[in-house]
Amino acid sequence: MATLHTAIRAKMGSTPYYVTTMKVSDLVQVARPASEQEEWATTGLTERLQRELNESRVRTEIAPYLANSPDRFFGAIILLLDSDEEPEFEPFSEVAKSLPKAYRSTMGKDSFGFLTIDSGERIILDGQHRFAALREVHLARTVEGEYAKDVGDDEVTVIIVPRISTQHTRKIFNKVNRYAKNTSRGDNILTSEDDGFAILTRRLADDGGPLAGKNHKGESLVNYKNNTIAERSTQLTTLSAIYETVRIIAEHYNMADDLNEKKTHVRPGEETIDQGYEHVEGWWTTVLDGMPKLKYGRDNTKLLPELRAKEADYGLLFKPATHIVLFQALSQILKADSDLTLKEAVDRTYQLDWKITDPLWRDVLINSAHNILTKKENYNLAADLITYLVVGDKLPANHIKELSERVARARGEDESTFQLPEPLGD
């Protein structure tokens, strides 16, 4: 199928390429992912150029984003022209003989013009998941959304690379994917304008929020770059940990689906965001007020390394993992005892021994080297243990028995003889 495009001709190293734009309706008709090319799909591993297509990600994340977002946007798709014939490129200077001199000099060495492709397979070299989502919305039409019918008219940037050799093409694919770095979780939280959890997380750490401000070194009180806090750090917690507490609070109030980008695909309404912030700000403020040592650390950052030390009485409270576990436990406590207020739940939880070396946490949340155990099962076990210690009298007997067995297994002890510590009194 012959196609004509306005294009820019360029070269990087030994690789010539062309940059153009195509309507989605045209692109999905002429291009195919490499995994769908029979001769490519059946080759050995050393010859395969494409990852397997993650169809679930296409249908549940990317395609709904396209169909529901008025601000949808993708980066360039790299298209391999697998043909024995070179595409024909005609510079503007040859087509328009009377082009003003100033324009000719600006265009460089005949870089702007018309590209005609007469033959060859158009194979997606990079961007196959984005392409599959575009095809799913425009051709398959299995995804509903306010803007689904408009996607076909969208224009996407396409970089066309003529095939030189299979080896050359494989090198391009390898380098494009090897050096492409996914944005970090912190970057995603900082920049997302559609993820309600991220928006609320930023508000907590922005001016006026309970976690706003800087430490004595001029750094943000919240670590935006890492998911963990170094022992000598003078930052209170991580953005990633705050995000998890926001998600927990949203789930507690049955708001998670309204704020979860994977469910909404677009920015939640301002009323929903304001309502969500009222909850998360209230919880964090109550925790800080009800746990004076934690609040003291927030306000005296120079002392955070000392407060976080394994010998410190409340050292565990200054670990980001503990913040996640704590909020999960508070949600469970309030569900187990509906007569308790959040303040009362926080006050009771603060009575626990929060020393890192306390035997209570051994092999539950802390290992023998006094480091955090980072598996989700440890977080869940620690939250369940806190819940039991605070409102054990409200839990079913079989729940307590199961918890005792889980703790015993975690510690390598005999499940039949192991006994949990007594819950706190009123």
pLDDT digits (tens, 9 = 90+) for 232-260: 999 999 999 999 999 999 999 999 999 99
* pLDDT mean over 45-64: 73
* pLDDT mean over 357-374: 96
Token pair for 5: 């495009």
CA contacts within 13 A on the Cβ side of 418:
17
Residue 408 has pLDDT above 70, yes or no: yes
Residue 421 has pLDDT above 90, yes or no: yes
- Do residues 125 and 32 make contact, with C-beta atoms less than 8 angstroms apart? no
Q: Can you state the angle between helices 239-252 and 196-205, rounded to 10 degrees?
A: 120
Q: What is the mean pLDDT of the chain?
A: 90
DSSP three-state, residue 342: helix
Facing residues of 6 across strands?
114
pTM value > 0.75: yes
Residue 45 has pLDDT above 50, yes or no: no
Per-residue confidence at 295, pLDDT binned at 50, 70, 90? very high
- Residues composing the chain: 426
Secondary element (H or E) of residue 298: helix 292-299
> What pLDDT digit, counting tens, does each position of 192-229 carry?
889 999 999 999 998 789 999 999 999 999 999 888 89
Q: How far apart are CA 143 and CA 343, in angstroms?
A: 44
Residue 382 has pLDDT above 50, yes or no: yes
Region at 370 (left for phi over 0; alpha for psi -120 to 50; beta for the rest) = left
pLDDT value at residue 107: 63
CA distances from 127 to 18, 35, 71, 261, 373 (A): 16, 12, 19, 21, 37
Among 317, 420, 411, residue whose Cα is nearest residue 362: 411
pLDDT value at residue 120: 85
Per-residue confidence at 72, pLDDT binned at 50, 70, 90? very high
pLDDT value at residue 46: 42
pLDDT value at residue 55: 87
First-to-final CA distance of the chain: 78
Q: How far apart are CA 177 and CA 156, in angstroms?
A: 20
* pLDDT mean over 306-325: 97
Token pair for 241: 């940990």
* pLDDT mean over 402-419: 95
Among 305, 327, 324, residue whose Cα is nearest residue 215: 305
More confident residue, 158 or 126: 158
DSSP three-state, residue 307: helix
Residue 42 has pLDDT above 60, yes or no: no
* pLDDT mean over 172-191: 79
Q: How far apart are CA 83 and CA 90, in angstroms?
A: 19
Residue 67 has pLDDT above 70, yes or no: yes
Lowest pLDDT segment from 90-94, 284-288, 364-368: 90-94
What share of the chain has pLDDT > 70, as a percent? 91
Q: How far apart are CA 36 and CA 2, in angstroms?
A: 21
What share of the chain has pLDDT > 90, as a percent? 70
pLDDT value at residue 390: 97
